């Protein structure tokens, strides 16, 4: 690929949620996209903050970049999305995969939120599989990559693939698929489609859990994933993968913020409307996610 199809990628690691946020820039035009930004939340005190998002804004300004897109790969279950905050700060449009409406419809029932608009209107753009767009002069396209969630998508921007919670770094394997609407079989298919990208494609993952306490890492290549991913290099058939993925998932506790985060993230990163006393309140159901392992 020519240099114009090789975006400059900067990752911002959030150690509280093990999440990686990205600024993907075309240096020829100084335009960029922000992917999967985190809005800080402390579940113990109920406090919110914009430390991560402001760090991204400072980086964008310091490098004289213009934000063209604020992109989420899926409705996150382990952190709040800062998409709405960054839209207010930059004016850039927000986007997510079109199947987010299925997630909204599912969780609308779980939250007993009858007046919630489960139509995706909380975002400026809903991407379908195969949709194309640009970051500056860099070609970008969307791959539907469900399994971890109903709505997960991969952004392929030039020679860089942002694979969210499908593949982790090779020493960490693959993502869980046991959330409401998840499927290990669909995850297998999505990963096969990602691994069919050119070997030199750079792979950027959405989380890194630092196995054995190593430093955070988030970039690999398709070739490296095929050769050494601890799941994909070992389990060669769908049946084998589904068996080990589902067995592993049965041992995992739910993310500590799943019931907090989904009501924010299926609403495009909007916090609840303040009540009469000026405070915002989260609502989550008891016993809605039965069967998950306890920590």
- CA angle, 185 then 19 then 192, to 5°: 25
Q: What is the pLDDT of residues 64-91, one digit of tens each?
A: 999 999 999 999 999 999 999 999 999 9
- CA angle, 48 then 108 then 69, to 5°: 55
pLDDT in tens, the chain (295 residues): 334 799 999 999 999 999 999 999 999 999 999 999 999 999 999 999 999 999 999 999 999 999 999 999 999 999 999 999 999 999 999 999 999 999 999 999 999 999 999 999 999 999 999 999 999 999 999 999 999 999 999 999 999 999 999 999 999 999 999 999 999 999 999 999 999 999 999 999 999 999 999 999 999 999 999 999 999 999 999 999 999 999 999 999 999 999 999 999 999 999 999 999 999 999 989 999 988 899 8
Q: Tally Cβ neighbours within 10 Å of residue 155.
A: 29
Q: What is the DSSP string of 37-103?
A: PEEEEETTTTEEE-HHHHHHHHHHHHTT-EEEEEE-SS--SSSEE-HHHHHHHH-PPEEEETTHHHH
What number of residues does the chain have?
Answer: 295
Burial track 2-35 (b if 16+ CB lie within 10 A, e otherwise): eeeebbebbbbbbeebbbbbbbbbbbebebbbbb
d(CA 222, CA 159) in angstroms, rounded, equals 11
Contact indicator for 216, 202 with CB cutoff of 8 Å: no
112 closest CA partner among 280, 271, 263, 272: 263
End-to-end CA distance of the chain: 47
Strand order in the sheet with 38-42: 47-49, 38-42, 80-81
Q: Tally Cβ neighbours within 10 Å of residue 218.
A: 21
Q: Tally Cβ neighbours within 10 Å of residue 210.
A: 16
Contact indicator for 146, 186 with CB cutoff of 8 Å: yes
Strand order in the sheet with 31-35: 8-14, 19-26, 31-35, 66-71, 94-97, 125-127
Could you give phi then psi for residue 192, rounded to 5 degrees?
-60, -40
Contact indicator for 199, 226 with CB cutoff of 8 Å: yes
What 8-state DSSP symbol labels residue 253? B
- CA angle, 78 then 79 then 83, to 5°: 140
- Residue spans of the domains in the chain: they are 7-254
Output the CA torsion 82→85→89→90 (10° steps): 50
Q: How far is CA 15 from CA 33, 95, 183, 216, in A?
A: 22, 25, 27, 9
Element (DSSP H or E) covering residue 223:
helix 222-228
Strand order in the sheet with 160-162: 132-135, 138-144, 153-157, 160-162, 202-204, 219-221
pLDDT value of position 2 = 37
pLDDT value of position 291 = 84
Looking at domain 7-254, its CATH architecture is 4-Layer Sandwich (3.60)
Q: What is the pTM of this model?
A: 0.96
């Amino acid at each position: 690929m020519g240099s114009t199809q090789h975006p400059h990628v900067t990752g911002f690691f959030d150690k509280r949620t093990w999440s990686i946020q990205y600024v993907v820039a075309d240096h020829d035009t100084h335009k960029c996209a922000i992917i999967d930004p985190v809005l800080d939340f402390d579940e113990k005190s109920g406090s919110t903050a914009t430390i991560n998002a402001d760090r991204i804004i400072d980086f964008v300004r310091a490098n004289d970049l213009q934000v063209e897109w604020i992109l989420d790969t899926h409705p996150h279950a382990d952190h709040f999305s800062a998409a709405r905050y960054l839209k207010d700060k930059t004016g850039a449009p927000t986007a997510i995969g079109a199947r987010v409406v299925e997630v909204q419809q599912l969780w609308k029932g779980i939250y007993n939120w009858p007046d919630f608009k489960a139509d995706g209107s909380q975002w400026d753009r809903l991407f379908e599989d195969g949709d194309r767009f640009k970051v500056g002069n860099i070609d970008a396209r969307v791959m539907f990559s469900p399994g971890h969630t109903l709505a997960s998508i991969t952004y392929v921007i030039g020679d860089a693939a942002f694979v969210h919670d499908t593949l982790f770094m090779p020493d960490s394997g693959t993502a869980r698929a046991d959330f409401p609407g998840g499927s290990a079989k669909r995850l297998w298919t999505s990963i096969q489609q990602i691994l069919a990208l050119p070997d030199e494609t750079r792979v950027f993952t959405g989380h890194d859990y630092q196995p054995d306490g190593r430093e955070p890492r988030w970039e690999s290549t398709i070739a490296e994933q095929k050769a050494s991913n601890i799941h994909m290099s070992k389990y060669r058939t769908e049946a084998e993968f589904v068996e080990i993925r589902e067995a592993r998932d049965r041992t995992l506790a739910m993310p500590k913020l799943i019931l907090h985060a989904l009501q924010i993230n299926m609403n495009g990163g909007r916090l609840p409307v303040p009540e009469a006393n000026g405070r915002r309140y989260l609502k989550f159901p008891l016993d809605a996610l039965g069967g998950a392992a306890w920590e």
